[in-house]
Amino acid sequence: MLSRLMSGSSRNLEREYSCTVRLLDDSEYTCTIQRDAKGQYLFDLLCHHLNLLEKDYFGIRFVDPDKQRHWLEFTKSVVKQLRSQPPFTMCFRVKFYPADPAALREEITRYLVFLQIKRDLYHGRLLCKTSDAALLAAYILQAEIGDYDPGKHPEGYSSKFQFFPKHSEKLEKKIAEIHKTELSGQTPATSELNFLRKAQTLETYGVDPHPCKDVSGNAAFLAFTPFGFVVLQGNKRVHFIKWNEVTKLKFEGKTFYLYVSQKEEKKIVLTYFAPTPEACKHLWKCGIENQAFYKLEKSSQVRTVSSSNLFFKGSRFRYSGRVAKEVMESSAKIKREPPEIHRAGMVPSRSCPSITHGPRLSSVPRTRRRAVHISIMEGLESLRDSAHSTPVRSTSHSDTFLPHVRSGRADSSERVAVIADEAYSPADSVLPTPVAEHSLELMLLSRQINGAPCSIEEEKESEATTPTAAEVEALGGELKALCPGHNRPEAEQVNKFVLSVLRLLLVTVGLLFVLLLLLIILTESDLDIAFFRDIRQTPEFEQFHYQYFYPLRRWFACKIRSVVSLLIDT
């Protein structure tokens, strides 16, 4: 009896798995789930822990053993999705950015969205002008340390905090000035609300870029926002397509297709190549979910989407949550006492330990500038909270474009990275900090080669090393190898057309063969099956049998006998 109890308890332990979820404030939530637990169960546990009701905007992200990121599907088993050895590690993140974050019902929801956008700003995904960057950083400062106090906040206090990947002394002084003079008296909740209102107006709000290449082999970044589909290429936005203009999303292997129907019945098909088939499928799934969430009126309108063609089965996917309009209607019915919010203090981010209090570029002598570039490169490599980054280029404060880093003038301390004038209107989207172009280029190369975000462990600590020139060239070669559409897109299109024609011929021959077998069984066999008997008794079949089939059979028999007799005679 005792042995049975012990064996039963050991089996139960084998069915339980430990899960650790990193939250938006970098704290961790650990729980135990059963082997067959669905994603919805884990997500509900997490939302209960956070006291969160407006939970449809959020999701759980994880990295598979191949270093490809995924969103946890709530209708499937957690263990089967992760495909890695326990204990499992995941991240709680904003999955669908609210179109108007200031309109969220509860303060706890606004606070979590505030933390996500603060991370986007810190990791360089949210681009803005220097003036906007200073204001956003001042709001963060006011929300997390309160009013300016000369006794607590000495000269240069804003330099102790890291709001952006890198920032200059001039920007730090502007942040402190706004914090001292304009935001006094604002509560944390008010500062966070103002921060959200300002962030919402920026061009790259809600952008989580996916690295791809177009049919010409040029690097591109695809992203889905609350307002539509965005393509960033080179240093400008080349496409912005509203959700009501997107008619279909499809992928085959590494190739992603976006079907667009615009005014005057103008139809466009945009084609891009992802680094890997897994990255392309992840891009497709993200597109399907974002389109359903932002475009549809009701969740009952959601349909299962397939990436298959006419004859062969492909991937099938269905968005399983509520849509934005239903979420807003449900939020309006929330009537409870506002939950208590435990705000985290302004602490160095664990995802970037190497540059939290690193020296500013402008404060370092020219002779040591190269060493600082290398140090910041290491920090930027550790910033990979996301696998993607929007392409940028460097320019001086006088808005004249500088040569590439290979020209030898990459050590200017007064640069900011900008997006071209034609990219975003009405205002340019400017990175608020000077970024060394060669460091950013290496970081983008390494991210594109991976094709997926870094692992959770890479988010926690910096493991980056500075690559040599030979390694950079090798990385570029690997990147080209990952995207065959870069060199021979036309040849691939021809091959795909030939394969489609061959598939059509094979399917046609197969159907004719099946029909021939069915006809022989109906006319020549004595099978007394109800289905066959009903067909044989129809007037149409009897007419076909006696007027066409019998004469055709006699003609074939005659020809065969003549051929056989001819062979015997010879």
For residue 118, the enclosing domain spans 101-126+128-200
For the chain, how long is the longest CA-to-CA vector?
120
Same domain, 171 and 254: no
The predicted pLDDT at position 121 comes to 92
Distance CA 22, CA 96 (A): 18
Question: What pLDDT sits at residue 310?
Answer: 55
Give percent of the chain with pLDDT exceeding 70. Answer: 70
| Residue 428: pLDDT band with limits 50, 70, 90 | very low
> In 10 A of CB 388, how many CB atoms?
25
Residue 503's pLDDT band, with cuts at 50, 70 and 90, is confident
Domain with residue 173: its CATH number is: 1.20.80.10
pLDDT of residue 390: 32
User: In this model, does residue 435 exceed pLDDT 50?
Assistant: no
**Torsion from C-alpha of 173, 177, 180, 185, nearest 10 degrees:** -120
* Rg value, the chain, Cα: 31
Instruction: Work out the burial of residue 369: count CB atoms within 10 Å of its CB; fewer than 13 is exposed, 13-18 middle, 19 or more buried.
Output: middle
| Least confident segment among 304-313, 330-339, 358-367 | 358-367
| Rounded (5°) CA angle 255-261-265 | 140
Pick from 82-86, 114-118, 373-377 the range whose average pLDDT is largest. Answer: 114-118
Q: What residue spans of 464-529 are helical by DSSP H?
A: 469-482, 489-524
**Residues paired with residue 309 on neighbouring β-strands, in sequence order:** none
What is the model's pLDDT at position 34? 93
pLDDT digits (tens, 9 = 90+) for 193-204: 999 999 999 988
Judgement on whether residues 225 and 315 belong to the same structural domain of the protein: yes
Give the pLDDT of residue 206: 92
Are 316 and 253 contained in the same domain? yes
Residue 234 lies in a domain: yes
Crossing angle between the packed helical segments 188-200 and 130-145, to the nearest 10 degrees: 160
Verify that 179 and 231 share a domain, yes or no: no
Q: What value, to the nearest 5°, has the Cα angle with vertex 376 and ends 374 and 380?
A: 115
The answer on 159 and 111 residing in a single domain is: yes
Residue appearing with tokens 């015997």 = 568
The larger pLDDT score, comparing residue 231 to residue 11, is at 231
In-domain check, residue 55: yes
- Residue 420 included in any domain: no
Banded pLDDT at 550 (limits 50, 70, 90): confident
Choose between 500 and 418: higher pLDDT: 500
Query: Is the omega angle on the peptide bond into residue 426 within 30 degrees of 0, that is, cis?
Result: yes
- 292 and 214 together in one domain: yes
Query: 122 and 44, same structural domain?
Result: no
CATH of the domain at 297: 2.30.29.30
> Of 310-319, 351-360, 511-520, which range is least confident?
351-360
Compare 418 and 504 and report the one with higher pLDDT: 504
Answer whether residue 394 is part of any domain.
Answer: no
Tell me what pLDDT residue 395 has. 32
Identify the pLDDT of residue 14. Answer: 59
Residue 355 pLDDT greater than 80, yes or no: no
Residue 452, in any domain of the structure = no
Q: Which structure tokens are listed for 213?
A: 């290449």
Residue 137 confidence (pLDDT): 95
pLDDT grade for 476, boundaries at 50, 70 and 90: very low
Tell me the pLDDT band of 398, cut-offs 50, 70 and 90.
very low
Q: How far apart are CA 123 and CA 440, in angstroms?
A: 12
User: What is the mean predicted confidence (pLDDT) over 498-515?
Assistant: 88
- 458 pLDDT more than 60: no
Residue 9 lies in a domain: no
Mean pLDDT, residues 344-363 taken together: 40
pLDDT higher at 43 or 128: 43
Residue 417, pLDDT above cutoff 50? no
Task: Quickly state the pLDDT bin for 12 (edges 50, 70, 90).
Answer: low
Amino acid identity for residue 341 in this structure: I
Compare 244 and 400 and report the one with higher pLDDT.
Answer: 244
Q: Is residue 391 one of the residues assigned to a domain?
A: no
Structural domain count of the chain: 4
pTM over 0.75: no
Res 556 pLDDT > 80? yes
At residue 313 the predicted structure's pLDDT band, cuts being 50, 70 and 90, is: low
Position 399 confidence tier, pLDDT thresholds 50, 70, 90: very low
Same domain membership, residue 193 and residue 107: yes
Least confident of 70-84, 350-364, 502-516, 549-563: 350-364
**Residue 142 and residue 172 in one domain:** yes
Query: Mean pLDDT highest for which of 291-305, 455-469, 545-559?
Result: 291-305
Q: Please indicate, yes or no, whether residues 107 and 190 belong to a single structural domain of this protein.
A: yes
Last residue of a domain, one of 72, 94, 116: 94
The answer on pLDDT for 528 being more than 60 is yes
Q: Are residues 266 and 296 in the same domain?
A: yes
Kindly state the tokens that stand for 166. Answer: 């890198």
Check whether residue 311 and residue 217 sit in a common domain.
yes
| Model confidence at 372: pLDDT above 80 | no
Most confidently modeled range among 123-127, 410-414, 498-502, 507-511: 507-511
Look at residue 71 in the predicted model and tell me its pLDDT: 96
* Residue 475, number of CB atoms within 10 A of its CB: 16
- Assign 479 a pLDDT band (cuts: 50, 70, 90): very low
Last residue of a domain, one of 73, 94, 115: 94
Residue pointed to by tokens 């000035």: 177
Can you give the pLDDT at residue 87? 87
| Of the residues 150, 167, 200, the one at which a domain ends | 200
Interval 322-335: pLDDT, tens: 999 999 999 999 99
Instruction: Tell me: pLDDT of 274 over 60.
Output: yes
Q: What is the mean pLDDT of residues 248-265?
A: 88
- Mean of pLDDT over the chain: 75
Q: Give the CATH number, domain containing residue 38.
A: 3.10.20.90
- State the pLDDT at residue 113: 96
Q: Is residue 129 scored above 50 in pLDDT?
A: yes
224 or 464, greater pLDDT: 224
Paired tokens of 125 = 């995904």
The SS3 of residue 217 is coil
- With respect to residue 496, please indicate whether it lies within any of the assigned structural domains: no
Q: Is the pLDDT of residue 150 over 60?
A: yes
